[in-house]
Structure 1
Amino acid sequence: MNHQFTLKAMLLLILLLMLVGCQLTPQETDPNRTQVQLIRTIDGDTLTVTYNGKQEKVRLLLIDTPEMSDSIYGKEPYAQEAKSYTAKLIQNAERLELEFDDGPERDKYSRLLAYVYVDGIMLQEALLKQGLARVAYIYPPNVRHVDMFKEIEDKSQDMALGIWSVEDYVQKDGFHPEVMIEP
């Protein structure tokens, strides 16, 4: 009888632990993330948020999207698609979070450098899967997700999605809109 009571008590304890675990919020399950409020989307890889009560620009770590206002070409090809995709994901989000890596939290322009999560989905990963970003600006020790990003980038490139659909548009040093201009 004592053995049956112990078994029932253990099962009840396991059930209670499972129920408590199901009720944890994402913030409680991942203490490395900080919830923020969106102010606006600047382009595909930059946004403005309220962080620690202050308005801050955030630059997405380890990716690059085409520029909305390049000094030579103006709006680069796929820039509007990247911005629209980012804005669409973020504007209806219930939860927007930042995750910092092991290195500096700011770049030379004082922007926060972070992985951005939209309702638990990493924005960098989503942009890479759509072919709207390339892996770039790899500065250790901010490299936590670089291997995963490169795998996703390779798949998008193999499928010729978005920025990868135009031969030589994406090169090691960035985007080259001039390859789309007919002589």
Structure 2
Amino acid sequence: MNKRRTVYLKNLIFILSMVMIGLLAGCSSLLTDTDNQSADRVSATVIKVVDGDTIHVRINGKDETVRMLLIDTPETHAPGKSVQMYGPEASQFAEKELPVGSPIQIEEGVKGYKRDKYDRLLGYIYLKNGDMYNAKVVEKGFARVGYIYPPNTKHLDMLKEKQADAEKAHLGIWSIPGYVTSSGYDMTKVKTQKASTSTNTSPSQSSSSRSCKIKGNINSSGAKIYHIPGDPSYNQTKPEQLFCSVSEAKKAGFRAPKR
């Protein structure tokens, strides 16, 4: 009887031990995941904004160029390329969200894939309030999801959701049909849109528009600006479209010139 009881107790102790080991392993795994989440992020200070998807930072006294993972904004500084539509807006958004001197955190790419062929650090940028910049610039319609190279795809699904929302709302780059492609941006679509805006007008519209004095112009950087009589640049502005009221111009996506 005592022998059977001893065997029973040994088995019970063994089972309880295995359960405890399992629980401890689970807790350890949770702690490790939490630790890794913070360990994968490094603190940095912004020292320069290059454009909407590239910045210079200082990490532990060392200057680094950071190329943001999974996003692509229109070009503003690419050698041999003209400024692409919404490129300046993307850069301005980056300058607003990532001002020089601001503290940020960088979630680096997967170990072994932390740098691109230009030796730039790859990562997701987090603002002081915890928001991910990569997601915000896509959400605003200033960037497409692109440069998808496994294994650096951790936040791909989330970014694609943000992109779908921006596309559905026709924000920024998504306001021009065909402008966003799988490999970048097609500036011929911008020129096509300008041409169709100025030529695809019915005779009745043309005659009535002659009495409308507000000029709608799309500048070289893609900004839609309206000019009213009396503006300093009104006379030399060539309109892509004429409006009869400021509200009509604003409804078409045009803004007043910056003073």
Please, what TM-score do these two structures have when normalized by structure 1? 0.80
How far apart, in 2, do the equivalents of 1:153 and 1:161 lie?
A: 10
Which residue does the alignment assign to 1:8?
none
Aligned positions, number: 157
Structure 2 Cα separation of the partners of residues 95 and 69 of structure 1: 25
Q: Select the residue among 124, 140, 143 that pairs with 1:115.
A: 124
Over the matched positions of the two proteins, sequence identity in percent amounts to 38
- 1:165 correspondence with 2:186: no
Is 1:86 aligned to 2:117, yes or no?
Answer: no
Distance in 2 (CA, whole Å) between partners of 1:167 and 1:151 is 19
Q: Tell me, yes or no, if structure 1 residue 66 matches structure 2 residue 91.
A: no
* Cα-Cα RMSD: 2.1
Residues 1:57 and 2:61 are matched in the alignment: no
1:151 aligns with 2:161: yes
Partner of 1:21: none
8 Å CA contact retained: 1:69, 1:76:
no
> What secondary structure sits across from 1:181 in the alignment?
helix
Aligned to 1:99: 107
Q: Separation in 2 of the partners of 1:29 and 1:110?
A: 24
Confirm or deny that 1:132 pairs with 2:142: yes
After TM superposition, the score normalised by the length of structure 2 is 0.57
Shift of residue 28, structure 1, vs aligned partner = 11
42, 48, 62: which one aligns with 1:34: 42
Look up the equivalent residue of 2:48 and give its one-letter code: R
Q: Tell me how far 1:101 sits from its aligned partner.
A: 2.7
Q: Structure 1 unaligned runs (5+)?
A: 1-26
Question: Larger RCO: Structure 1 or Structure 2 (Cα < 8 Å, ≥ 6 residues apart)?
Answer: 1
Stretches of structure 2 lacking an aligned partner (at least 5 in a row)? 1-34, 196-259
Decide which structure has the larger Cα Rg and report it.
2
CA contact (8 A) 1:33 1:99 kept: yes
Using the alignment, how far apart are the partners of 1:71 and 1:181 within structure 2?
Answer: 21
